Amino acid sequence: MSNASTATDRINWIDCIKGIGIYFVILGHIYKCNNIGMWIYSFHMPLFFILSGYLIADKLTVPCYSKYFKKKFKSLIIPFILFRIALILYWWVVESGFR
């Protein structure tokens, strides 16, 4: 018998968000040379990283959900925002000179 999760172990809202993310990946590849593509590329892959970080956590060791969400915010959202700011600055300073 395998340890694979069954259909009852899945979290429906995460599956819905992943489906929407997959849709945005497809749209991003279709519209990659305009503002829609740039907007989609700004969040579609980080969305999957945030969801996987949420799912990998051992929720049984967290006694309080507010503490859990504060910890997740500090470890996932803040680094994401800082990386996005650095990436925007890079695009503005370096990439704008080449395009």
pLDDT for 60-98, tens place per residue? 555 677 777 788 888 888 899 999 999 889 888 887 777
What is the reported pTM?
0.48
> Residue 24 above 80 pLDDT?
yes
Residue 26 pLDDT exceeds 50: yes
Contact between residue 46 and residue 33 where contact means Cβ atoms under 8 Å apart:
no
The residue with greater pLDDT, 60 or 31, is 31
Q: Locate tokens 């700004």: which residue? A: 42
What pLDDT is stored for residue 85 in this prediction?
A: 93
Residue 1 has pLDDT above 50, yes or no: no
Whole-number average pLDDT of the chain: 78
Judge contact between 76 and 51, C-beta under 8 A. no
First to last CA, the chain: 55
